[in-house]
C-alpha cells in the first residue's frame, strides 16, 4: 500500500511541469486578437464643458499612423446631440495611449452614451483599409455607455 502511495506522489510530481506548461499555453492563448481597443476611461466637468478621456490601444502588429473616428454624442433622453471627429493621432502597435477631448457647452451628465460611428481616416501602412474599425473592442469605466 505504501508503495502505491509513493508511486502516486511521484506521478503527481512528474505531471506538475506538464500542468505548469499548460498554464503558460493558456496565457499565450489569452492574448487579445488584433484590432483596436477603445475604453471610455473618464469624464470630468471642466468649466462649461466636459473633458472626455479615452484609453486606446492598437493591437495590430503594425503602427497606425493616423486614426480619426467619427463620434456621436447622445443626450440624456437618448437623442443625438453632437457629432464630432476625434483625432486619436498616431497609435503605435501594442502601446496604450490616452487621448482627451473637450466638448464645450455640455456637462458630462448630459452625455448618456458615445457612439464610435466609424473611422473618418485610418492611415495604417502595412494593414488593410479596415484596420481601425474591424474587431473594434469597446468598453467604459464610466456611467456613459460606449457603443460602436
Cα–Cα distances (Å) from 127 to 5, 55, 109, 117, in that order, read: 58, 21, 38, 20
Report the predicted TM-score, pTM, of the whole model to 2 decimal places.
0.78
Which residues of the chain are modeled with pLDDT < 70?
Answer: 1-29
| pLDDT given at position 81 | 96
Between CA 131 and CA 60 the distance in angstroms is 8
C-alpha cell at 5: 502511495
C-alpha cell at 48: 462649461
Are the C-beta atoms of residues 97 and 62 closer than 8 Å to each other? no
Between CA 36 and CA 20 the distance in angstroms is 31
Amino acid at each position: 500500500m505504501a508503495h502505491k502511495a509513493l508511486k502516486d506522489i511521484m506521478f503527481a510530481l512528474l505531471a506538475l511541469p506538464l500542468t505548469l506548461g499548460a498554464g503558460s499555453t493558456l496565457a499565450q492563448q489569452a492574448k487579445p486578437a488584433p484590432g483596436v481597443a477603445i475604453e471610455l476611461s473618464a469624464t470630468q466637468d471642466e468649466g462649461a464643458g466636459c473633458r472626455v478621456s479615452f484609453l486606446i490601444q492598437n493591437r495590430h502588429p503594425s503602427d497606425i499612423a493616423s486614426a480619426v473616428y467619427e463620434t456621436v454624442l447622445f443626450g440624456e433622453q437618448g437623442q443625438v446631440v453632437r457629432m464630432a471627429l476625434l483625432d486619436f493621432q498616431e497609435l503605435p502597435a501594442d502601446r496604450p495611449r490616452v487621448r482627451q477631448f473637450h466638448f464645450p457647452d455640455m456637462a458630462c451628465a448630459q452625455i448618456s452614451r458615445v457612439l464610435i460611428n466609424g473611422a473618418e481616416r485610418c492611415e495604417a501602412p502595412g494593414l488593410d483599409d479596415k484596420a481601425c474599425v474591424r474587431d473594434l473592442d469597446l468598453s467604459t469605466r464610466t456611467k456613459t455607455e460606449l457603443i460602436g
